[in-house]
Amino acid sequence: MRKWIQFPHREGTISRQAHADFPEQAIYEREAGRSGFFGPTAHFHHKNPPTAWTSWEGPLRPRAFDLKQLTINTESPWQAPLFLHNASCKMRYWRCDKDMDFLARNGDGDDLFFVHAGEADLFTDYGRLTIGEGDYVIIPRGCMWRLEVKSPITMLMVEATNDSYQLPEKGLVGPQAIFDPAMLDVPAIDEPFLAQQNDSRSWKVLIKRLDEVSTVTYPHSPLDAIGWHGDLAVVRINWRHIRPLMSHRYHLPPSAHTTWVAGRFVVCTFVPRPIESDPGALKVPFYHNNDDFDEVIFYHMGDFFSRDNIGPQMITFHPSGFTHGPHPKAFQTAQKFSRKETDEVAVMVDTRDPLMVGEIANSVEQKAYADSWKTKA
């Protein structure tokens, strides 16, 4: 058994409450924490922003990638190149603009889709489900699926390698908090699904296992189920059905917005919400150390309130090892309380293990991103 060393202590000029009522001479708070936002913490009060560097050298740095610049049309999802990955989590960005005339099957882990744009009918072992902009879709490991495209569909794909997606423990707020599981939709064995079983063509299934693809051919559609029962299925929920936890007096950490949990990473969703109204409350994400997790944010829509010059289809990547937090312009706006609510929609993936950057991401990196926190001369 292990136990964190814990000894609550106060030193110097501080605020009694974290994230609120800062000393006038030190309004910049920095949180050092372990195990993401779940372990022991220390809160420092600084005279200057902890991100007010004047230069940055070496491979460790905040990074941003503009996925709009990618040529991402590939026939198969398994051909979409990895842009960030480790042994437990693989991220792809895929655009499908025509019907799939084959089936896909992932033998390496569950897949999570976040649909950025477009619409399609998703045919699976479990039936048919229409998916479109803003939908999360979980495909259980080993499930066969294909798309019939209504309009070109672009999606973030996050694989839980050798793992599964589950719901977070919601504790005191109860199982209906953030979203009620009753809002999860599952595929239907409906007329279009049964009709596709009459297709007399042979069908290929492209199975990915250990990152290699094997092809199995059937003389008929293998999506020929006439029914199913149980509590394992493809599920869908749209970000619009997420009701975020809020506090008008205290800025909640990103972990409060956790949507899905895997063994070595979590997926959080930032959706529009009121900004804290209490005069003493912090109104932007607090500066914090990236000490145990790598942080990735995919920007879907809106104006992300803690960032500057970041727009839809961009990815920011803050690897473990340095302090990060709001851009200077965002911090100044929060001090004036000139915005009363956020309007961003973004997906955050926090991984316990270091992520590798794929060549495709390197090709669309915004090199000046690390300089966006620079102290002005």
Cα-based distances in Å from 56 to 228, 292, 363: 56, 21, 20
Q: Are 266 and 168 in contact (CB under 8 A)?
A: yes
Burial grade of 251 (CB within 10 A; 0-12, 13-18, 19 or more): buried
Taking the C-alpha atoms of residue 363 and residue 372, their distance in angstroms, rounded to an integer, is 20
Strands 287-289 and 356-357: unpaired
For residue 176, the SS3 value is coil
**Burial (CB count within 10 angstroms: exposed 0-12, middle 13-18, buried 19+), residue 126:** buried
Give the contacts of 72 (CB within 8 A, at least 6 positions apart): 80, 93, 94, 95, 154
Which residues contact residue 193 at a Cβ distance below 8 angstroms, ignoring those fewer than 6 apart? 123, 127, 128, 187, 223
Annotated binding residues for homogentisate: 324
Is 251 among the residues known to form the active site? yes
Q: What count of other Cβ atoms lies within 10 Å of the Cβ of residue 20? A: 17
| 3-state secondary structure (DSSP) of residue 187 | coil
Pairing outcome for strands 127-132 and 82-85: unpaired
List binding-site positions for Fe cation.
288, 294, 324
Annotated catalytic residue, options 43, 85, 251, 327:
251
Whole-number Cα distances in Å, 302 to 178, 298, 341: 20, 12, 12
CA–CA separation, 24 and 307 (whole Å) = 24
User: Half-sphere exposure of 49 toward its Cβ, with a 13 Å CA cutoff?
Assistant: 19
Q: Which residue ranges are tagged as binding site?
A: 288, 294, 324
Q: What angle do CA 165, 294, 88 make, to 5 degrees?
A: 40
Q: How far is CA 291 from the centre of its chain?
A: 19
Task: Please enumerate in sequence order all residues whose Cβ is within 8 A of that of 170, keeping only pairs 6 or more positions apart, or say none.
Answer: 177, 178
Amino acid in position 271: V
Write out the two tokens for 351.
């991984």
Looking at the annotation, which residues are catalytic? 251
